[in-house]
Amino acid sequence: MRWLSDPLLAVDHLSMRFGGLVAINALSFTVGRGDITALIGPNGAGKTTVFNCITGFYKPTSGRIALAQGGTLERGAIEALTRSGKKRTQGVNPELFLLERMADHAIASEARVARTFQNIRLFPGMTVLENLIVAQHKTLMAASDYSLGGLLGLAKYRAAERKAIDLAKAWLEVVGLVARADDPAGDLPYGAQRRLEIARAMCTNPVLLCLDEPAAGLNNRESAELTQLLRGIRAQTGVSILLIEHDMSVVMDISDHVVVIEYGVKIADGTADEVKSDPKVIAAYLGVDDEEVAVAEAGSVAP
Amino acid sequence: MGAPADALKKALIAGLVTLGLCFPIVALRTDANFSNQLVLTPRWGLTFTLAAIAAVGVFLISLLRPAGFERATPKRALDTAPPHPFFRYLPRIGLVLLLAYPFLALAISASGGPGLLKLVDTYGIQILIYVLLGLGLNIILGLAGLLDLGFVAFYAVGAYSSALLTTTFGLSFWIVLPLAGILAAFWGVMISLPVLRLKGDYIAIVTLAFAEIVRLVLVNWVPVTGGYAGISSIPKPTLLGLSLGPEPGSLTSLLGIPFSPFYRLAFMYYLVLALALAAYWATLRLRTLPVGRAWEAMREDEIACRSLGINTVATKVSAFAAGAFFGGIAGAFFSAHYGFISPKSFEFLESAMIVAIVVLGGLGSMIGVVIAATVMVGGTELLRELGVLKAVFGPDFDPAQYRMLLFGLAMVMLMVWRPKGLIATREPTVRLKPQPTRGAPAVSAGE
């Protein structure tokens, strides 16, 4: 129950409207520090929209998304920051961020929320290693004195680049792609591209890793490997993981906490076992559990 | 059906098609005589010659390449085979040739070749200006993937700002050169601001419009720019404060050697060569810096860039500023070298030429830019004076008039053969495993 006792991210009455369509309606949930949280729901429930709001690709119509770095998210502190009108706190522990007020790249570089995409978004023409170096843009940019020192070939930048390569190599070892480091990322097989995208997200040194359907298109063996990989990443770095997934075997196997949404509204929230037996979830996934309709259909369809 | 029979059939069809096409265009020629009557001149000989050329050409091509023109597919690199030692020394050989070029030109023109001015100015300096421009656009279009159809605006800003600063305030070329680059970079930032919210084709339209605005301002702001008359008598660059002209007090008179236009020409050649090499080196460096990698990553996937914390606004602005800086430097050199500028030199055709250089060379490839600039600029000039074509098409054929046609044909064929440009392979900016030393044996005998 870490999502109640020690939350890292709190989504509070989040709403997103596209014209007349309400994609998310007053959705609230929390993500526990160090948890693997799954966000599930039928197709079109608004899961990816939630992701896009958290990572800043959409500006939510209303609601609040608060994230704490290095400590527990306190309600009082969030309220104080909200009233101050600022985007984030400076120099306090825990550091607080209001993601709905921040730009997408700032959410990635300052609040340290990394994400992957439903349809893989690598840099296909660049090599595997370069993909991981690009992810360390913020550190390297500072080391190159915003290009001036780097242009003059200062040793400081060269040392920073070497460190970046070492970090990239470490992640390549985790995802088993060292041998292909110098190949174009677009040449990798599908499963390897998925793993590379996760490694690239981890190279940004995130506190929260958001994975949009990481097991999509993987076979059973690859899905099992993915679960292993995610568990390993969490054990090694302590990163909290929020994932959208349709593969229920992966979700039930890996998640500490499952949030179920349907039509942009939360219908269940709890451990995997609690959610599995929730009648509303079963109805959402298996169809309408309406007595009358069931009876009527049984009467007409049954031979 | 055998290959020769198939080729024969194709040749026959090609010949007939050519005949059909040529019948109204070539075979029947109408001329107005002195009493203004149209006289029909049949030209059957020429028509059949053209048809025969087409048929024989198609026959030979189908024999050599029965499958027709396939699109070039990237071959899997077989890294095991080491490149020929010649390629290892190619960059050094090229550099030595570039450095020795004015003297080679001197030798060629002395032994009865084309004039020295033509050799050094047209084939040397002009190509190098386009290399500089191509390298500038290569950052915006080749690396950052922003289709800028108005690159000539930066060239114009550089040329006019340096010309105005030298003629109005009497500033030295050496002070004005970086200033022109900075002013053009400032323009790059200005242009990038409306572009930030746009994608792909829309960027092309906005940059095109911006270049037109710049040109129209140059044409219509007569008190400052002189309108169509342009700005003339722009002072030439000096070497350590000494001029290279014929007047007293110049470097030649101080050294006590007779004046020759060759000195100034060679000086300008080395100056633009140094600028082009500096731009090449800077681009090489920038590619391995986080900005350069961010440019390339943005070309590949902008959304992924943002998810990794890269500020794409700053990245786009920096790409435009860096590219425009090179364009401005090229403009400053251009105005100082020719001593005269007018809006005529900064029309859309120039932008198209620079885009063609970058695309033909292969997006992002710097060697490609150099080769394409040489071929495009040198090629059009060379076509102007190909006497061989006169022998084929008759004595009243003027190659200068057809050069754009031939040139377009060559470009179409090149794009069919190599759709990704001359240099389609991308050199990674960093490697985990060091590349096997070029030219060294890849596998030792013991293995």
- Three-class HEC string of B381-437: HHHHCCCHHHHHHCCCCCHHHHHHHHHHHHHHHHHHHCCCCCCCCCCCCCCCCCCCC
What's the confidence (pLDDT) of residue B68? Answer: 54
| Cβ-based contacts of B301 with chain A (< 8 Å) | 121-124
φ and ψ at B71, to 5 degrees?
-75, 140
Mark yes or no for CB contact A138/B309 under 8 Å.
Answer: yes
pLDDT in tens, A253-295: 899 999 999 998 999 899 988 888 888 888 887 776 556 555 5
What's the confidence (pLDDT) of residue B441? Answer: 41
Which of A154-158, B78-82, B244-248, B400-404 reaches the highest mean pLDDT? A154-158
Distance CA A198, CA A210 (A): 9
What's the confidence (pLDDT) of residue B399? Answer: 67
Range with the lowest mean pLDDT among A40-54, A263-277, B99-113?
B99-113
The mean pLDDT of A192-212, rounded to a whole number, is 93
**Domains in chain A, ordered, with CATH?**
1-112+239-293 (3.40.50.300), 114-205 (3.40.50.300)
The mean pLDDT of A55-79, rounded to a whole number, is 89
Neighbouring C-alpha atoms within 13 Å toward the C-beta of B357 = 34
| Cβ-based contacts of B309 with chain A (< 8 Å) | 105-106, 108-110, 137-138, 204
Model confidence at A92, pLDDT cuts 50, 70, 90, reads confident
Q: Assess whether pLDDT exceeds 90 at residue B421.
A: no
- Token pair of B289, please? 């810096």
Model confidence at B445, pLDDT cuts 50, 70, 90, reads very low
Q: Is the peptide bond between A94 and the residue preceding it cis, with omega within 30 degrees of 0?
A: yes
What's the confidence (pLDDT) of residue A64? Answer: 92
Q: Assess whether pLDDT exceeds 60 at residue B82.
A: no
Please report where in the chains the tokens 């096409």 appear, as a residue. B21
What's the confidence (pLDDT) of residue B391? Answer: 66
CA B274 to chain centre: 17
Range with the lowest mean pLDDT among A264-273, B25-34, B302-311?
B25-34
φ and ψ at B394, to 5 degrees?
100, 160
What's the confidence (pLDDT) of residue B81? Answer: 52
The mean pLDDT of B51-55, rounded to a whole number, is 89
Q: Touching check for A163 and chain B: CB below 8 Å? A: no
B274: left (phi over 0), alpha (psi -120 to 50) or beta: alpha
Q: Domain map of chain B by residue range?
A: 3-64, 114-417
Q: Based on C-alpha coordinates, what's the Rg of chain B?
A: 26
Average pLDDT, chain B: 82
Range with the lowest mean pLDDT among A1-5, A129-133, B390-394, B406-410?
B390-394
| Cβ-based contacts of B307 with chain A (< 8 Å) | 55, 57, 104, 108, 114-115, 117, 121, 201
Pick the residue with more confidence: A284 or A207? Answer: A207
Q: Touching check for B425 and chain A: CB below 8 Å? A: no
DSSP letter at B143 equals I
Range with the lowest mean pLDDT among A34-48, A219-233, B38-52, B279-293?
B38-52
Q: CA torsion sign, A192 to A197 to A203 to A208?
A: negative
Distinct helix (H) and strand (E) counts, chain B: 19, 2
What's the confidence (pLDDT) of residue B106? Answer: 79
Q: Assess whether pLDDT exceeds 80 at residue B276.
A: yes
What's the confidence (pLDDT) of residue B390? Answer: 66
Mark yes or no for CB contact A157/B289 under 8 Å.
Answer: yes
pLDDT in tens, B173-228: 899 999 999 999 999 998 888 888 887 788 889 899 999 999 999 999 988 888 88
What's the confidence (pLDDT) of residue B438? Answer: 46
Distinct helix (H) and strand (E) counts, chain A: 14, 10
Mark yes or no for CB contact A125/B300 under 8 Å.
Answer: yes
Task: Give me the residues of A, 181-200, that contact B with CB < 8 A.
Answer: 181-182, 184, 200
- Residue to test with chain A: of B280, B285, B296, B308, most A Cβ within 10 A: B308
DSSP alpha helix (H) spans, B221-250: 222-225
In CATH, what is the architecture of B114-417? Answer: Orthogonal Bundle (1.10)
Burial class (CB in 10 A: 0-12, 13-18, 19+), A279: exposed
Q: Assess whether pLDDT exceeds 90 at residue A165.
A: yes
What's the confidence (pLDDT) of residue B366? Answer: 87
Share of chain B above pLDDT 90, in %: 29
- Residue to test with chain A: of B307, B315, B365, most A Cβ within 10 A: B307
What's the confidence (pLDDT) of residue A227? Answer: 92
Q: Based on C-alpha coordinates, what's the Rg of chain A?
A: 21
Model confidence at A192, pLDDT cuts 50, 70, 90, reads very high
Residue A262 forms beta bridges with which residues? A265
What's the confidence (pLDDT) of residue A88? Answer: 87
pLDDT in tens, B148-177: 898 999 999 999 999 999 988 888 889 999
Name the 3-class secondary structure at B348: helix
Q: Assess whether pLDDT exceeds 80 at residue B3.
A: no
What's the confidence (pLDDT) of residue A294? Answer: 55
What's the confidence (pLDDT) of residue B189? Answer: 92
Q: Assess whether pLDDT exceeds 70 at residue A46.
A: yes
What's the confidence (pLDDT) of residue B141? Answer: 92
Mark yes or no for CB contact A150/B282 under 8 Å.
Answer: no
- Smallest CA–CA distance, residue B220 to chain A, in Å, is 39
pLDDT in tens, B339-394: 899 998 898 888 988 998 898 888 888 888 998 898 888 887 777 776 666 666 66
Model confidence at B115, pLDDT cuts 50, 70, 90, reads confident
- Residue to test with chain B: of A121, A122, A138, most B Cβ within 10 A: A121
Closest to A147 (Cβ–Cβ): which among B291, B308, B433?
A: B291
Q: Assess whether pLDDT exceeds 80 at residue A95.
A: yes
CB distance A227 to A250 below 8 Å:
yes
Closest residue in A to B283 (Cα–Cα): A151
What's the confidence (pLDDT) of residue A36? Answer: 93
ipTM: 0.88
Count other C-beta atoms under 10 Å from residue A199's C-beta: 24
Residue B242 forms beta bridges with which residues? B239
Q: Assess whether pLDDT exceeds 60 at residue A225.
A: yes
Q: Touching check for A108 and chain B: CB below 8 Å? A: yes
> Residue B30: in which H helix or E strand, if any?
strand B28-32
The mean pLDDT of A228-239, rounded to a whole number, is 92
Instruction: Give me the torsion for CA of A107, A124, B421, B286, rounded to 10°.
Output: 40
What's the confidence (pLDDT) of residue A239? Answer: 93
